[in-house]
């Protein structure tokens, strides 16, 4: 494969007419960790004259579309942004519905994760989340603990800045208690205290819906991530678009600060 040095990863990279087949890419051109922001549910519904809640329901199928797309390429890690620390600012009715949909989705479709060999884990702050949701999240983690095809991390009540602040608080306490030498704290040490510290760096960051921002998602892990901001709203974002985003990633020359 010839690798272009500057391939844009902007709004025009995805083609709705692409075939539904996984691209044949060299192993070293496939991202190890993909992060996805599931954005655009509300706008999708409004465009169709329907309540925002319909968009959240329609967006649920995109989860397995994306899971099936990345497992077809043997991507080992997928992390999805389901509910942010800032989403509490929405109308209470919408917040309750989003959290209820997440709970019901995991409860009703847990067997599909097991069948696919997908290990489910979640990251975020427990405070404020319904007891029923916490229970089903724990059950999903336990039921899929032995799965080894894909690690699927769902971030709920999660914020990148909050995660970093939480880690700094723990590190400061350990240093104050004499359990950690402040002079020995490095980037590697700090990462170990992050809630998502067990995840590798994000290689490919996909945000459907056309918005071009991180929105406080995986700030630490996305330091050198390649970004794709396709215009398709999340309920319309199927496996074809995931594969095209990965193909765009494969054409990038990743330099990590080094010259060509």
Q: Where are the domains of the chain?
A: 30-159+201-250
pLDDT score at 19? 63
Q: 3-state SS of 102-135?
A: HHHHHHHHHHHHHHHCEEEEEECCCCCCCHHHHH
Using alpha carbons, select from 212, 227, 205, 208 the residue that is nearest to residue 8. 227
Whether residue 13 has pLDDT greater than 70: no
Contact call for residues 203 and 225 (beta carbons, < 8 A):
yes
- Active-site residue, selected from the candidate residues 39, 41, 157, 203: 39
CA 34/CA 242 separation, integer angstroms: 10
**Of 15, 68, 87, 157, which residue is the catalytic one?**
87
pLDDT of residue 4: 39
CB neighbour list of residue 232: distance below 8 Å, 6 or more residues apart: 14, 16, 40, 208, 209, 241
Q: What is the pLDDT of residue 49?
A: 95
Q: Is residue 9 predicted with pLDDT exceeding 90?
A: no
**Annotation marks residue 177 as catalytic:** no
54 among known catalytic residues: no
Q: What band does 1 get if pLDDT is binned at 50, 70 and 90?
A: very low
At residue 8, does pLDDT exceed 70? Answer: no
pTM listed for this prediction: 0.90
How far, in Å, CA of 249 to CA of 23, rounded? 12
Mean pLDDT of the chain: 90
State which CATH number among 2.60.40.2230, 3.40.1180.10, 3.40.50.2300, 3.40.640.10 fits the domain covering 30-159+201-250: 3.40.1180.10
Counting beta carbons within 10 angstroms of the beta carbon of residue 199, is it exposed (0 to 12), middle (13 to 18) or buried (19 or more)? buried
pLDDT of residue 171: 95
| pLDDT at residue 203 in the model | 97
pLDDT confidence band for 18 (50 / 70 / 90): low
DSSP-based three-state secondary structure for 87: helix
Question: How does residue 21 score in pLDDT terms, banded at 50, 70 and 90?
Answer: confident
Mean pLDDT of 30-43: 95
Residue 106 has pLDDT above 70, yes or no: yes
| 83's tokens | 């509910």
């Amino acid at each position: 494969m010839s690798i272009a040095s500057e391939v844009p990863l902007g709004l025009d990279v995805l083609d709705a007419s692409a075939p539904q087949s996984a691209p044949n890419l060299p192993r070293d051109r496939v991202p190890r960790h993909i992060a996805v922001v599931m954005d655009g549910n509300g706008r999708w519904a409004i465009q169709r004259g329907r309540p925002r809640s319909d968009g959240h329901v329609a967006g649920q199928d995109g989860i397995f579309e994306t899971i099936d797309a990345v497992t077809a390429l043997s991507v080992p890690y997928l992390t999805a942004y389901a509910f942010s620390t800032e989403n509490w600012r929405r109308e209470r009715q919408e917040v309750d519905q989003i959290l209820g949909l997440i709970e019901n989705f995991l409860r009703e479709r847990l067997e599909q994760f097991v069948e696919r060999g997908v290990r489910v884990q979640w990251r975020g702050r427990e405070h404020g989340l319904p007891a029923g949701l916490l229970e089903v999240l724990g059950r999903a983690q336990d039921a899929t603990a032995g799965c080894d095809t894909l690690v699927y991390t769902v971030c709920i009540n999660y914020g990148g800045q909050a995660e970093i602040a939480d880690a700094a608080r723990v590190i400061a306490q350990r240093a104050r208690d004499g359990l950690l030498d402040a002079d020995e704290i490095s980037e590697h040490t700090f990462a170990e205290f992050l809630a998502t510290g067990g995840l590798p760096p994000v290689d490919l960051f996909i945000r459907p819906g056309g918005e071009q921002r991180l929105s406080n998602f995986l700030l630490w892990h996305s330091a050198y991530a390649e970004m794709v901001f396709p215009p398709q709203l999340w309920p319309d974002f199927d496996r074809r678009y995931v594969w095209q985003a990965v193909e765009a990633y494969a054409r990038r020359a990743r330099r990590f600060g080094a010259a060509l």
